[in-house]
Structures are given as structure tokens and as C-alpha cells.
Amino acid sequence: MDKILEGLVSSSHPLPLKRVIVRRVVESAETPLSQAQCRAMFALGTRLVLQGPDPFQRQVGRQVLDAYGRFHRAEFEAFFNRGLVLGLLQRGYGELSNRDPAILDYIQAGLRLIMSCPSVLELFELLQVEALRLVCERPAPPLCARLCQLLGDFPQCLPRGRKLSLAFCQQLVRSIAHFQSQGTREAELRLYVSQVTQVSALLRSVWKAEPDTLLPSLQELFAVISAADTSFEPSVALASLVQHIPLQMITVLIRSLTTDPNVKDASMTQALCRMIDWLSWPLAQHVETWVIALLKGLAAVQKFTILIDVTLLKIELVFNRLWFPLVRPGALAVLSHMLLSFQHSPEAFHLIVPHVVSLVHSFKRDGLPSSTAFLMQLTELIHCMMYHYSGFPELYEPILEAIKDMPKPTEEKIKLILSQSAWTSQSSSLPSCLSRLSGKSETGKTGLINLGNTCYMNSVIQALFMATDFRRHVLSLNLNGCNSLMRKLQHLFAFLAHTQREAYAPRIFFEASRPPWFTPRSQQDCSEYLRFLLDRLHEEERTLKALSSAKSSESIMNEESQAQEAVHKTQVFTEAPCMGSEERTLIEKMFGGKLKTNICCLNCKSMSQKEEAFTDLSLAFCPPTSLENVDPKCMEHSEVKDDYVAQSNTLATSPAAETPLSNLEVNHGCDTIMNEGTIEDFSSEPNSENTTISELKVQNNGDMSQSLVGKNTLSVTDLLNYFLAPEILSGDNKYYCEKCASLQNAEKTMQIIEEPEYLILTLLRFSYDPKCHIRRKILDNVSLPLVLELPVKRATSPLAVVSGGWSVGVEISDTGENLAKKLKPSGADEVTCPQLVPYVLSSVVVHSGVSSESGHYYSYARNVTGSGPSGLCHQSTALSLVSPQDKLFTEESPCTVVENELDTEMPREWFLFNDSRVTFTSFQSVQKITSRFPKDTAYVLFYKKQNSTCGFNTNPANGLWVNGDPPLQKDLMDAITKDNKLYLQEQELSARTQALQAASASCSFRPNGFDDNDPPGSCGPTGGGGGGGFSTVGRLVF
């Protein structure tokens, strides 16, 4: 029968005829046959299955084996024995290699036929060994997939015992790593993917049945992808295994992997790069989840070098995956994380910038809902990156044009995304027992490290930095090649805006800006430092302008005219720098205002006038005992019970201003009040003669005492109204009138004729006690209005006086001997009403302590631009500073107004800058600071004029400014990028050192420390609080 059948199937008869005859032969299998006949039929069937030249003959062989094996099972059991199977697996069959999948097809068919026979158990044992041998020989995908199919159908053939089972799983992982697709056509690729899927499915079933094999398998997987052997590149088919790893294990696996000291950086880098390559695998799920988890885990343990290297190596590959719809979701997730977390340098983002436009156009052409959704996500990502790395219009303008029709995220959303994505904010994604990063606080603001009692500088710098328009002007200056103080301030502002450090150490700026009479590492007066700093910046800019003008003249003049012109130009800048707005210095533009002082002789009615520039107005207190000596007739309209000093820091505008307005001292029942910064101090600095301090030391105010008797809390409005109130010069303080040639009673009035963009107010809290010969601090609480209106009486016609000097023919002599006494205004008041200019509180510098020689400074601040923060530009209720000639107070109580203002306050818009620590706070905290902490009192206030942009474009058309700030110059950006990388390296080194020192099973914690080593309210050399402890958890050895 076997010979007839063999001849038939190989004959040239028509195929239908051969099929009919074959069917009859198969049907005759039921008839009894001898053992030899059965063996012959089994041998023929085997030969046809394994060596048949065409599908028909192989089909006939399977039919013969199946039919005769079922009806003659005992004979087939004897034929399909251990020797046959072992020979097939080790030697093959004839010319057929033992690595041909047809061998496994035949064995699987034979196992089905003898499943009920006792001998099958022997074959199972044989196949357990042979299966392990096969995977150790790294079978090709077709053979490995066929083996896995056989083992899936017959799990009894899987290697048994923990040792063999572990070895099988590990070797199967390595076999997958060697898989390579043999074709490039779609059908071939689909077949390859299905083969890989079969293999990974078998591993999943083994892991599920024997959970102990999972972790060793993953260890083997990591060993494969972390190998540094460049001659072998593991297959991306390994990505098919990721979807079978339970996501519940992600935390413990990533923690173990990133904290294991046995895992070297090179191995981790290689492994992470290869995992990112897995994004190309079409059917794998959760690859992006594991990649992002590993990136976050590395950031949490501060291994930033790995993150930087991997991002720069793979960012373009990840971006290119967005072209393929099948892998686009995972690729976009990884791309977003990599870009948003890489915040120390634009390098990674700029690698993909050239490819963005073409991808956007491709998405638009698709018109598919999925493409549109991905385009919206990509657009949001691109906007975030362009916002963070502004200053490259030549790169970004084509992108902006391409995505102009897409929705743009709000600035608040962009800030939130960036703050949550930085590497220094990743520690929250892992358990708290990992060390806490010392990156930027949740506020996104940078602190300043205390360099040793330098809180007076830190608080002032933070207030200036938060003066938004001033900061933008400073950052926009082109100061390349200049080593000026302004350049150092620009450098400091740039780092405060862009560094990733929690706190920055301003050593260079401190050394450059410290007044020479300030003793290093000792507490100083922040108000005095502020005046010195602004004066230095002002004088420096004037000098540079003069030198620049003189230098430009040299190119068009001969030698003689050069010298003359240089002298002339220098004189012009020295004598009248403020004649035109374009010639004013930045300090004058931002903080400069003008006061006009009028003194009218009550005898001859002659008038003397003087205009005086100022950068801050200072108000001081006087003991209430001074009111005992006030004439009751002078109390008729009085509203302030304390004497005060009105002190203004003035910028020189002509040589005449070098002679300061003399101190008008009063000791009529009142202790002398003086600020820490004295004019003697100022004059010790070169060029400081051009900056004068007018100190009007007044005993009492007859117009402002009465209504404040019984008031518990003064307000800034009270002191400013008092500053502007008129005073009568009489008695011992009579005015010498040149026209009368004698001392006469006179009326003195002060008016603000030009308001500053930023109004700086200093409350003079340090008084000299002549009895004890010490400086005491006045701890009186002062209410701070959130909104106020400043009366400004602008000049309507040119004055007949030189700016900064007294009127012609008027001489004020011996004013230091005269006493000023503020009385009820006379009828000499001007009729014109001043213009009320609205201001909003921007910053408050607080002094904590009881004396000027000790204590601590910190500041409250918020971002206020010309239009002000939302909710504050259109206040219906405001504290007004009305003209002293009209009415000194508004009807509404300051406290009531403050409560109304608080209702409109935006949440989390106030910041507390305490050296290296920056936290969110509220205006309520600012207002209540003294009531809660009696030694903490507001000292220097910054108010921002509303409805003004200072001539500065804060909304560029392309929106390419970060936080609305101008783009940084290249050298500044390079310096920041370099420092950010250095910071990441420092953090990484610290984390590694900490990990090495940590006990393997201990967990220790130390609480967050105070910003200084000294007690609260003091100022010490250290900065930065403590962090959480570190512990190692039960580790997995990768």
C-alpha cells in the first residue's frame, strides 16, 4: 500500500484524481494491518511531511499519519519513540536541518496522537531538555515561534524545576534579543511581528504560572540592553516583553534599578537608549510608561549626566517616530517628558526645531481626527519650549507661522507645566524615602544665599528683581564687553530668572556693590545699601554715556576739536543729564521723581523755589511726647501725633545740586531722629557728592495731629500726607528773606511735580536716644495700603530757575539753625488741583529685630507690571493721597479699604523671599506681620505706578519672551546653561555620596531646617534648609 501511494502522489496524474485515490487510502486505515505495514505507512507519512517537494505531498503525509496513527495507536506509539524524536531534534531528517520548523510541526502532530499513551511522559521529559537546548542555540524567529507554539500547546514540555525554568526564561529573553527581521515588505514584517508575539506570549504564561521567574527574567533583560558590546545590538523585539510586566511593579523596579550601586552609568545610559529605541516596536504597550518612569527615577536620584547624554542622543529619534501613526502616542509622551524636563539648556529642543514645520504640515494634510488631536498636543509642547527658551526668533518664526491657527496655552498653564516637569521636581514621583532634591521651590522663584549677614542685600535685590519693568529694562541692555556694575546686576537678574538652583550665591555682585564703609559679615542698613546701589548705577551710566559720546566724536574731528568736544559733551552730561527723556539714566526713568519746594515770605510775599530730584522718600517717627509742647491753636487740623523726618534721596542734575538741602532740625520737645545712612557715609564714596539727602527734621505738624489722637495704627498714607503738608517757618525757625534783608515768618510747601515709575518709601525706624546714646528701633505698626493715589502737580510752564537750584536772587542761609514748624496752611495755597496718580504695592522689605546693628531682613514681593495684576487695575476703592491744600485724608478708614483690597487679591501672587528660601504667601501675611511678630516691621516699600509701560514693549508680537522678559544675550545664556549643567552634576555627586553612605536597610530623616543657622529673626552666613533622609529599600540586583 505504501509503495502504491508513494508512486501515486509523485505521478503526473491529474490532481483531482490523485486526491480521490488518496481519500480512499486514508479511509482504508480502519482495516487491520500488520505491524510492518503500519510501520511502512508511518515512515511514508513522515517522509512526505518532512521531505515532500510540494504542499500536496506534505498534506497527504499529514493525512496518512493522522488516520493510521489514530486507528493503529499502539503501532504508532512504537514508531514515534524517544529515538525518533531525539534524532529529529538533534540531526534532522535526511537533508532537512534539525533547525527547520517542519521538524517541530511533525513532533507536535505526533504528540497529539499519543497523548493518551504512557510513552508520552518520556517524550515530555525529553522535550523539556531539548527545548532548553534549542533556546540556548539562539533559534531564528520562525523556529523559536514554532517551539513556543508547541510549548504553549503542550506546557508539559516546558522545563521543570526552578533552576531549569529560570534558565529557560533567561535564555528565551536572550534569544529574542537576537531576533532580526528577514524582510522589508509589509507581509514579511507582519509575519515577523506575529512570530515575536508568539514568543513573548509564552514568556507571559510562564511568568504567570511561576512568578519567581519574572524578576530574574527582567534582570537578564536589563543585562542584555545594558551591555556595552558594540558588536551586538539587541533587537527591538524585546519591546514585546514590556507589555507583560505588571505596572504595579514599576515603582519597586525603578527604585531598585536607579539606586543599585552595581549599575554603572555607562550601562544605565546604554539601557535607557535601547529602551527608547523600543518605541519603534508597533504592537508593544506601556513602553513609554516604563521609559518615562526610568527617566523620572534617574532624576529623583539626581543622575543628571545620564539624562543629559540620553536626551541629546535620542531626542531626534523620538521625534522621528511621530511620523508613524502606530507608534505616535508613545513617542509623543516620551518626547514631551524629555523636552519639558530638559530645562537647563535649549540644546535638546533646538535639535528638533528644524523638523517641526514639516511634521505640522503633515498633520494638517492628514485631516484625520487623530492627527488633529496629536497636532494640538504637539503645539502646546512647542509653545512651552519657545516660552522657556526665548530669544531665537530666527528659529521660532517659521514654527509660529505654521501653528498660528492652533490654540495657544495660557501663560499660567505653561508655567505650571514647566514647573511640574523639571528634573528637580521629579522626586515626588517616587516614595518619600528617596532623598529630596534641593531644586527650585514650587514658586518657581530663586532664593539668594546668605553670604554672611548679607540679608540686607538679598532683600533689596529680590525687591528690585520683582520690579518687573526695571528687571526687563536691565535684561534688555546690551552690555557686552562692559564690566560695569549694571552688567553684574544684569548677570544676577538673568540667573535669578533662569537658574535651576534653589538659591544663587551673588558673591561677585556683593563684592562689586558693597559700600566701602560697610564692614564685611556685619549687619547693615538695607535702605542705605539701596540708596548707594541706585546712586552707583546712576553715576556709572552717566559716566559711560559721556565717555561713549566723547569716543564717537573722535572719528569725525581733528585732534584739537576732539579734546574740546569731549570736554563739552562731558559737561553736558554732567550738568543736565535729565533735559530729555532719552538722556535720562535707567535709574532716573524707573525710580526718579521730582519735588518742588516753595518758600513764601509772609511779609513781602516774595517766593523762592527749588526743584529736587529724588529716588526715594523717607518717613520717620517721633515720640508722642512732642505733642505736649504743641500750641493748642496749632492742633486745629492736626492729624499726626508723631514728629517725623522727611528724607529724600536726590539725584544731582547740576553742580548746584552738589550742595545738599541743609538739615532742617527741630528739637522742640522731640528727640532727634536720624536714619542709619547719614550724609557723611554717602560722601565717603567717590562721586557721591552728586547725590544728596534732604533731611527735613520736623518737630510736629499742626495740621495733622488732632485727628490721629486715639488712632492705634498709622498708615503709609498718613505719613505721606504729612510729608506733603505745608509748614510755617516762625519763631526760632524764621526764614531769612533777602528782599526784606531780615528773618521773617514764611510758609514752606512741598509738591511732587514728577512722579517716579516706582515709588520707594523708607520708614525711618531707627532713632538716636541722646540720653542713652544708642540707636533704638521704633516698633510702631504701620498699615500698608495695597493701592494708593499720589497727588502730582505737574509744571504747566517752564520755570525761571535752574533745575535743582534755588531761584535767582533768593538765598537760604543758615537754614540749619532755623526750626520748621508745620502749621495750618495760609491763604497762599495754589488753586490748581493735583493729578492723582495710582500706585500698587509691589514689594515690602521687612526688618526683624530691635536695633539697626542686628536682626534680619526679608522681603515680600509680587509681579506688578504697568497694567498691574489682574483684579487690581480697577479698584473702586483706593487710598488716596490728596493735596495738602485740599484735604489731608479721604473719608474712608485705611483698614476698611485694605479689607476691600484683600477681597480682590489673586491667590498665590505674593512671594516671601527669606534668603535662600522662597515660599508663597498672601497680602494678609504682609499686613499682619507686625501684629503677629512685634519685632518684624515694614521698612522699605516699593509701589508701582499703574497704567504705564515705561516706554517698554512688554508684549512683543511673536510672544518669544520668557515670563514676559526679553531674551538673554548669547553669553549670558551660555553662562546660565553652563552653570545649570554644573548644578546638575553637583546634585548628582551629592546624591551618589549620600547613597554610598546610607545604610542598606536604614531610613533616617532630618526635618527641614531654618534658612539660617541662627535663630529666626537673625541673619547668619548659611542658607538653605535640610532635606529628607535617604534609605535603601529591598533591592533587586540588576
Q: What DSSP letter does each residue of 25-40 carry, written as one string?
A: HHHGGGS---HHHHHH
Query: Residue 152 and residue 138: Cα distance in Å, rounded?
Result: 19
DSSP 450: -
Query: Number of helices (H) and strands (E), helices first, in the chain?
Result: 35, 23
Residue corresponding to grid cell 533567561: 170
Tell me which of 384, 455, 526, 634 is the catalytic residue: 455
Closest C-alpha to 665, from 641, 698, 692: 698
Question: CA 872 → CA 7, 469, 861, 863, 869, distances in Å?
Answer: 102, 17, 15, 12, 6
Contact yes or no for 949/468 (Cβ under 8 A):
no
Measured from the Cβ of residue 123, the count of other Cβ atoms closer than 10 Å reads 24
- N-terminal to C-terminal alpha carbon distance within the chain: 62
Which of helix, strand or coil describes residue 483?
coil
Q: What is the DSSP string of 892-932?
A: S-HHHHHHHHHHTPPTT-EEEEETTEEEEE-HHHHHTHHHH
Integer-rounded Cα radius of gyration of the chain: 43
Looking at the DSSP bridge assignments, the partners of residue 608 are: 599
**Contact criterion met (CB below 8 Å) for 151 and 157:** yes
Phi and psi at 256, nearest 5°, equal: -65, -40
Residue 455 catalytic?
yes
Inter-CA distances, 614 with 258, 287, 753, Å: 59, 64, 11
Provide the β-strand partners of residue 921: 910
Angle at 887 between CA 885 and CA 890, to 5 degrees: 150
Longest dimension (CA), the chain: 155
1015, burial (CB in 10 Å: exposed 0-12, middle 13-18, buried 19+)? exposed
Which cell numbers in the block locate residue 221?
533583560
**Sheet with strand 746-754: strands edge to edge:** 607-614, 593-601, 746-754, 727-729
C-alpha cell at 126: 525529553
Q: Which three cell numbers stand for residue 112?
A: 497529539
Q: Which residue has the cell 539668594?
A: 448
Residue 673: strand pairing partners:
767
Extended beta strands in 287-398, E state? none
What burial class does residue 713 get, using C-beta atoms within 10 Å of its C-beta: 0-12 exposed, 13-18 middle, 19+ buried?
A: middle
d(CA 995, CA 235) in angstroms, rounded, equals 33
In 3-state terms, what secondary structure has residue 602? Answer: coil
Q: Give CA separation, 794 vs 372, 591, 596, 768, 837, in Å.
A: 57, 17, 10, 37, 11
What span, in angstroms and rounded, lies between the C-alpha atoms of 151 and 160?
Answer: 12
The answer for residues whose C-beta is within 8 angstroms of residue 336's C-beta and 6 or more apart is 377, 381
What is the DSSP secondary-structure string of 793-859?
---SS--SS-TTSBPTT----SGGG---BB----TT---PPPEEEEEEEEEEEEEESSSTTS-EEEE
Of 601, 856, 950, 1019, the active-site residue reads 856
CA dist., res. 18 & res. 68, Å (int): 19
Distance between CA atoms of residues 185 and 48, nearest Å: 31
Which sign, positive or negative, has the C-alpha torsion 503, 508, 514, 517? positive
Whether residue 881 contacts residue 716, with contact meaning beta carbons closer than 8 Å, is answered with: no
User: Which of the residues are catalytic?
Assistant: 455, 856
